[in-house]
Amino acid sequence: MPRVLFVFTGGTISMRFDPATGGAVPALSGEEILAYDPGLRTFADLEVIDFGRFPGPHMTPDRMWALSELIAQQIARPEIDGIVVTHGTDTLEETAYLLDLRHTSPKPVAFVGAIRNSSELGYDGPANLRAAQRTVLQPQARNQGVFVVLNQMIHAASEVTKTSTQQLDTFQSPLFGPLGMVDDDRVLFGRQLAIRPTIATPAWETRVDIVTMYAGADSRFVDYAREQGAQGLVIEGTGRGNVPPAAVPGIQRALDGGLPVVVASRCAHGRILDTYAYSGSGHDLRQRGVLLAGTLNPAKARIKLMLALGRTRDAGEIRRLMEDGAY
């Protein structure tokens, strides 16, 4: 029988209502969560690692890195056929993308979570766990990197994002759609990724900040991030990757100081491109040396830049890692 490792890190899937605090808190161990669906053990032999009981916002870069190291060690074991990782949905897409950029094994890894805690009617954790387990056991799942599986849909870690605060179908891949779905009788893959870059590095740079642009934004927060020791910046621009002209001097100061600066978009989906040529436009920023995030949202652009900086401080190599092989 195949063997699947479940790594539990916390999140809503591990929570239940606590009368003392008046809200949901992490409480369940991995084995307690698995007990909601005894049928999981009919599909595969299971192993369990309790990495922690962290709500999504409590996942730090250090914890994310430690988790990625653990997964790399475990996936290398010949008896392990696939890994399912539970995670708080608030930051799930960031950790999943980190693992995807580091994942070189043909064996699949699937991230899963829950929108409703175990005290709520319609607790979706067990169904999501079963869907994720069935996904990693499929031969078609090999050589596709890291998945995010919720609400019976299979998404690529590089493309998926959380779109709603409470809907069960919150995880969507807005630009290209899901990779497949988990149905009652079988797991269906409709497509595969055409591009899936990886970045090999023994460490990453955690001091990368995101600065959001808005109507009337200036250089204050860009300057502050640089002055406080940021080693790289992601600018959450508007539209195609544009910023107000008053923000340009701060971005230029960051570039002059040797900081790599990446521009992504605050839009729900779409691609960064230097289409416009006015002051503060994507073309203006590009000419100054700002890197383009492609289709990555700001949070994922930050993850990728953190890895790129962990590997090298050479500006040309960072540009290659950030932009080559990207949509």
**pTM to 2 decimal places:** 0.96
Could you tell me the two tokens for 167? 């809907």
Asked whether residue 202 is domain-assigned, the answer is no
- CATH number, domain of 104, equals 3.40.50.1170
Q: Are residues 178 and 260 in the same domain?
A: no
Final residue before a domain boundary, out of 126, 154, 189: 189
pLDDT value at position 324?
84
- Over 90: is that where the pLDDT of 326 sits? no
Could you tell me the two tokens for 52? 């922690």
DSSP state, residue 139: G
Could you tell me the two tokens for 234? 């992601």
- When pLDDT is cut at 50, 70 and 90, the band that residue 33 belongs to is very high
Residue 272 has a CB neighbour count (10 Å cut-off) of 29
Residue 95 designated active-site: no
- Tell me the angle at which helices 61-75 and 92-102 cross, rounded to the nearest 10 degrees: 50
Strands 146-150 and 153-156: antiparallel
Q: Are residues 22 and 159 in the same domain?
A: yes
- pLDDT (average), residues 234-258: 98
- Of 9, 12, 238, 295, the active-site residue reads 12
- CATH number, domain of 247, equals 3.40.50.40
Amino acid in the structure at residue 172 = Q
Q: Are residues 76 and 181 in the same domain?
A: yes
Asked whether residue 197 is domain-assigned, the answer is no
Q: Are residues 266 and 179 in the same domain?
A: no
* Cα–Cα nearest to 13, from 103, 93, 85: 85
pLDDT value at position 97?
98
- Of 9, 60, 86, 89, the active-site residue reads 89
- pLDDT (average), residues 48-53: 98
Asked whether residue 195 is domain-assigned, the answer is no
Q: Are residues 83 and 51 in the same domain?
A: yes
- pLDDT (average), residues 191-217: 96
Final residue before a domain boundary, out of 138, 161, 189: 189
Residue 12 designated active-site: yes
Q: What is the residue range of 167's domain?
A: 3-189
Q: Are residues 212 and 121 in the same domain?
A: no
Q: Are residues 34 and 149 in the same domain?
A: yes
Asked whether residue 270 is domain-assigned, the answer is yes
Q: Are residues 212 and 183 in the same domain?
A: no
The SS3 call for residue 291 is strand
pLDDT value at position 317?
97
Residue 44 near residue 1, CB atoms below 8 Å:
yes
Number of domains in the chain: 2
Percent of the chain, pLDDT > 70? 100
pLDDT value at position 303?
99
Average pLDDT over all residues of the chain: 97
